[in-house]
Amino acid sequence: MTLPETATQPALDTLRRVFGYDAFRGNQRDIIEQVVSGGDALVLMPTGGGKSLCYQIPALVRPGTGVVVSPLIALMQDQVDALTALGVRAGFLNSTQDFGQRHAVEEAFLAGELDLLYLAPERLKVESTLRLLDRGKISLFAIDEAHCVAQWGHDFRPDYLELSRLHERWPAVPRIALTATATGATRKEIAHRLNLDDARHFVSSFDRPNIQYRIVAKNRPEQQLLELLTTEHKGDAGIVYCLSRASTERTAQFLSDNGIEALPYHAGLDARTRARNQARFLREDGLVVVATIAFGMGIDKPDVRFVAHLDLPKSVEGYYQETGRAGRDGQPSTAWLAYGLQDVVQQRKMIATSEGDDAHRRRLGTHLDAMLALCETVECRRVQLLNYFGQEASPCGNCDTCLSPPEAWDGTIAAQKVLSAVFRLDRERRQKFGVGHIVDILLGRQTAKIQQFGHDSLTVFGVGTEHAEPVWRGVIRQLLAQGLLTVEGDHGTLVLTDASSEVLARKREVRLRQEPKRAAKTSRPKAPQQELSPETQPVFDKLRSWRAATAKEQGVPAYVIFHDATLRQIASEGPTTLAELGTINGVGENKLAKFGQQVLDTLAE
């Protein structure tokens, strides 16, 4: 139900006065109306879509303090700094504070002097925190990164399970749970676990049209990454994801050795080093962070121009969440993934040997199957990605399969040859081998191992000379992706599946993806305000220099002062008075008073 205009006016006034915007985006208005009126909400909105406003504005409009539950302890200071720059009274309570700091925040909360209070979920298990909240006035509870509550999601946090008790203890306080990624199954689980079954659900489009999705066949992936960064993203900020701590360190060193300033981030580093590297990434321009998936959730840096994966993500949810950290400002950005046979073998092996029951392994397998389908598709990547989240789409023209369409070929005979080789070894000789040995058999190579086991006497020995080794490896990769082969044991040996017999019995056709002979074009649609005129580019550069100096002086990330989009509009429109500057998107009252004259002075130069 939509509230009358008079009821939504305070929210719109707050948007203009505090945040400097004239209108809500997408379904922000409906979400804010729901919470301001005291209702519960479950919000799915892509990264960069403006989720934070959906609880920040109701917290400013409703009496009391908005309590934000967030798993991002390392970022709470930056979040509070960003709000403080807007004139919002914000604080946080977490384990990084000493007694005096915590006491000051608690007193401010009890005195009604905070608009927003950030808490880690584990603090709500502490009785003293619950008693503190009982003594103050709470306007709402916001549960950020709500997918952390879902076993079916990709960042499960047991502490989030306790949050269902919020409604029991404070039944009159509205709750809003927010996440950037959730399938229908995940959304249902979030609602159930947080006791939000009766909440209104708001699902925005998952499409991020400014992101170009590209998946390339692995071939010396570090060199491929280096080429991407030097040819397309020179001087850009970006995130590179690796599966292991060792590969994170190695890749960061490789990039640094090749002239790209890169910092590692993983759980094996001491807390001080992690915090320093994260702070540098947020505060400095053009840095690259090489990280495990522990990095990035809640990062508000708007100008991340690329996210690269050197290893296969475990799920589409995880992939979407991680790639979504690129291009929060709406400008063209790249999501790049290097993917190969060993990724599939490794992931299948990890699932087969993982702890947990059969249902858990099936769940992991379902996640991986969806990710493999995205990698192997010959259709538009964006269509496949959005379909996974239950949204229909048309081919985007801005992904590698649209720009350089791959061909599909009838790989049935090739598949039968591979499966026959695995069958002969397993059923006739009770032997199991990995990918390399199977390829050697098909190509008729007289290796020491083949001679040792007498495999040159197999009927399949040398039957695959019509294809080169890379083709056979691609065939095996796709058979693994389609569930026609699987791996077992620590050594990743190949074994048949129940579906293999259909192919061997000629009852099933196997269509395979043929890699395009040329790389996808990297041209991409122009985003609004992407290009500045030759006259305004120097003005924009001057404004960025002023912003960098101001941010350094205040010890905050540059985007806390102003986003690039705001500086672009200032450079283009050239305001000469504070009143004119106040009409620019992103210039609220507090920032106008604090920085307005400095901006005008910079323009006057």
> pLDDT, tens digit, for every residue of 22-64?
999 889 999 999 999 999 999 999 887 889 999 999 999 999 9
Domains 5-203 and 211-339+377-406 share a fold: yes
Please give the structure tokens belonging to residue 269: 């580093």
489 three-state secondary structure: coil
Which of 270-274, 335-339, 479-483 holds the top average pLDDT? 335-339
The percentage of the chain sitting over the pLDDT mark of 90, rounded to a whole number, equals: 60
Q: Report the half-sphere exposure of 185 (CA within 13 A, side-chain side).
A: 9
Q: What is the mean pLDDT of residues 111-126?
A: 93
Residue 391, classified by CB atoms within 10 Å of its CB into exposed (0-12), middle (13-18) or buried (19+), is middle
Please give the structure tokens belonging to residue 319: 């992939």
E strand map for 149-253? 175-179, 200-203, 211-217, 237-241
Pick the CATH number of 5-203 from 1.10.357.10, 3.30.70.100, 3.40.50.300, 3.40.50.2300: 3.40.50.300
The percentage of the chain sitting over the pLDDT mark of 70, rounded to a whole number, equals: 94
pLDDT at 405 over 80: yes
> Which of 381, 399, 380, 383 is closest to 391 using CA atoms?
383
- Return the minimum-mean-pLDDT range out of 179-188, 393-402, 557-566: 179-188
* Fold designation for 537-604: DNA polymerase; domain 1 (1.10.150)
Instruction: Please tell me the pTM assigned to this model.
Output: 0.84
- The helix (run of H) or strand (run of E) holding residue 542 is helix 537-554
Structural domain boundaries in the chain: 5-203, 211-339+377-406, 408-514, 537-604
Residue 302 pLDDT = 87
> pLDDT, tens digit, for every residue of 411-426?
999 999 999 999 999 8
* Fold designation for 211-339+377-406: Rossmann fold (3.40.50)
| Alpha-carbon distances of 585 from 141, 518, 581, rounded to whole Å | 28, 42, 9
> Which of 31, 356, 71, 334 is closest to 208 using CA atoms?
334
Alpha helices in 38-193 (DSSP H): 53-61, 76-85, 99-110, 127-135, 165-169, 184-193
Residue 363 pLDDT = 84
> Token match 């962070």: residue?
289
3-state SS, one letter per residue, for 331-362? CCEEEEEEECHHHHHHHHHHHHCCCCCHHHHH
Please give the structure tokens belonging to residue 390: 């239950």
185 three-state secondary structure: helix
Residue 202 pLDDT = 95
Residue 526 pLDDT = 41
Whether the Cβ atoms of residue 255 and residue 226 lie closer than 8 Å to each other: yes
> pLDDT, tens digit, for every residue of 187-218?
898 999 999 989 999 999 889 999 999 999 99
Confidence label for 4 from pLDDT (cuts 50, 70 and 90): very low
pLDDT at 81 over 80: yes
d(C-alpha 25, C-alpha 241), whole Å? 31
d(C-alpha 163, C-alpha 193), whole Å? 8
Residue 294 pLDDT = 66
d(C-alpha 148, C-alpha 294), whole Å? 13
Arithmetic mean of pLDDT over the chain: 89
> pLDDT, tens digit, for every residue of 524-543?
444 444 568 888 899 999 99
Phi, psi of 262, deg, nearest 5: -130, 140
d(C-alpha 296, C-alpha 235), whole Å? 20
Please give the structure tokens belonging to residue 392: 């229909």
* Fold designation for 408-514: Arc Repressor Mutant, subunit A (1.10.10)
Q: In what order do the strands lie in the sheet with 304-309?
A: 211-217, 333-339, 304-309, 237-241, 288-291, 262-265
